[in-house]
Each structure stands twice: as structure tokens, then as C-alpha cells.
Structure 1
């Protein structure tokens, strides 16, 4: 078994059942419907509003929603509705089998999270799934200031873990993120279904990964 092993999980598409490649565009379509504006009009107004980068900066969520509402002439109820819809789509549903497997690793490995994120995700995901009782640390891109697959996302996470790359095994549903981890020496598996991912983690823990 690797010395001081860490199992590092992505969230969306791994610990949460959500299609990272489609939900955002689907959500934007619902925002356009709520605004009553055409796609071109919404896109132009959002671009002109210069909304804050909630994926790379912390403390910006209130300004984002206020700016979006102002740009699209949404009233308070509409703003709150599109925000609620955003987080419901963002979080999806919990991958209960994999979450419980991660919980079961206590005593054999330490568990942590590295996730590209939006400001507010820590609070929303904790409320829904209670990740802090299983994973420590939880490293979000909006708090790190850098996103996968940039090398600094992994290097800052390693620093937070106090770990060497060879002691970490990473699970993500995007190949580019797995490749980014490999570039700094972190092994991993591309998540497609729970059984294969769990088998890959077990192989790593038994020194066969």
C-alpha cells in the first residue's frame, strides 16, 4: 500500500450524478425563457454586464446574481428562482454508492476533493450532501483561484494535503483533468461507473495501481 495514501475525488460527474457537459447550456436556456429575451439579446446583455468570474474567485456570488438580474431585468422572485434552478442543476443528485464507499475508506486512506466550482458551491454541497464529514480538505477552484487542468490546481491541492504526488490517487470524469493530474505525477482513473472506479482505487491501495 502507498505510504500515507490519499484518494482525491472530483465532485460533478463523480460524487454527484450530473452531466457536466450539458447542464449549463440547459440552464441558460431556462434563464432565457424566464427573461423573455432572445438568445442573442441575453448573450449580448450578459457580455456587457461583465459578471464576476465565480468559478475562480470567492465572495463573488451575490454580485453575480445581482448583476445577472440587472442585465436581464429580472425581479427579485425571478432572480431567486434562476439561482435555485442553477444550484439544483449544478449539484444534481448524490452518487450515494461512491459517497458511502469514500466514507468506508476511513482508517485505510484519507479522502479529499478537488473540484472546479462556482462560488457558493461549498455551502450548497455541504447542505445537500455533508461532504465535510467525509472529505478533508475540500479544494474548490473558486477558492484556489485556478481550475483543472492547470498544473497549479493540483500543486496547490498537494500542498493542502501535505502529500507527495505518488501518494495520491485522483478520480475525475474528464480525461483532460486526469491528464493534468498525471502531468504533475498524480495517478488516477477516468470515472465512468462506480464498480470500475472502486476497483481502481482498491488496486492503488494494494500497490497494484
Structure 2
């Protein structure tokens, strides 16, 4: 089983929290939209979604661009990670944990540098899924074919033996292009039924 994290193993209002966080940033800065956008663009932020070791520099540049002091910068970072990580999808995590020992459990996630440490502290994913392939560590994000290839390599698995669970159709389509069967996660009951069906074909 190859799980997405955000929107699947954890619930974070994907697509909503990002807008709220951006609005919070603008409010903290006190800048009008045009000036805010110009300063963020000029900050030349690192590609923290596909680069490792840049988290501190990302927040430093962003804070400097928006005129934040150290306390505000720390508060902004904490707000970001609380929103990013959301809460555990306890039901699906419990189901994944109870899968038979011969069923591998891995994760492929579009991420931000720092996600491994933040999510491990909150959810202990290393005890649930292994390997965990984060986009900032493998240098590619879904639906880039490189991301799926990296996951298959890390899992030492053939595409035909993997079921991928994600909450974005574009990521499911990218998996299909790599030969990986995928299911679009909308609710736990449907996803669990699909996993059971997949496993039944391999028993």
C-alpha cells in the first residue's frame, strides 16, 4: 500500500488552510496585497517543496521580506506547521496499522522541508509507514513521474503490485501513467473497501 499523507493519513483541509495561512500572513505584515506580493516575490524563497536543508533559510527570507521580528517569524512558522499537519485520520491510520504483516505500507507525499520531523513528532509515521518518500527529499513532487519512480525504488516493488491512495485526481493520474493502480480517497469506508478488494485479488 502506498499512501499519500496530507488529506489521507492526516486531515488538514487541503486547499483551504493554505488560503487561510496566506491571509494570516498578509494581516500580520500590514501590507496591501500588491506590496505583499512584490516583497514575497523579491524574497526569492527556496523551493522548499523539492529541496532539503532550506527550511531555516525559507523562514528567514520570508520574515525579512515582510518585516517580521524573530518572535513573529517563530509564530508564523508554528502556525504554518499546525495548519499543514492538521489532525490524524485516526480510523485510516488504525486500519493501516492492522494490515497483515506481509502487506507493505509506504507513503509518497508532496511536502515542505521540515515535514518529516514535524509529522514524526505529531504522528510517529515511522512506526506506521516505511519508506516515507517526501518530495523535498527526493527532489520531485507528484505528478512528476520521477516521484513515483523514487517511491517504487524505495519500496523495492513493481508498479503492478502497488495500490496508491491519494486525495487528488492529478496524483492518481500520475500514478496510472507510471503503471500504478490508484484510488481517489474521499472517505475512509470507500478507501478501506478498495484496499480490501485489491488485497483479495492477491490472496
Structure 1 counterpart of 2:4, from 10, 16, 19: 10
Runs of 4+ in 1 over 2 A off after TM superposition: none
Alignment-derived partner of residue 18 in structure 2: 24
- Normalised by the size of structure 1, how large is the TM-score? 0.95
Alignment-derived partner of residue 152 in structure 2: 158
1:78 corresponds to 2:72: yes
Aligned ranges for residues 1-209 of structure 1 at < 5 Å? 7-207=1-201
Q: Take 2:128 and 2:115, find their aligned partners in 1: how far apart are those partners?
A: 16
- Normalised by the size of structure 2, how large is the TM-score? 0.97
* Cα RMSD (Å): 0.9
CA offset at residue 39 of structure 1?
A: 1.8
TM-superposition CA deviations, 1:100-123 (whole Å, max 9, x none): 111111414010000000000000
Aligned residues: 202
Q: Take 1:197 and 1:123, find their aligned partners in 2: how far apart are those partners?
A: 27
Could you tell me which runs of 5 or more consecutive residues in structure 2 were left unpaired when the two chains were aligned.
none
Q: Take 2:74 and 2:100, find their aligned partners in 1: how far apart are those partners?
A: 38
TM-superposition CA deviations, 1:22-59 (whole Å, max 9, x none): 21121011011111111221111010010101000000
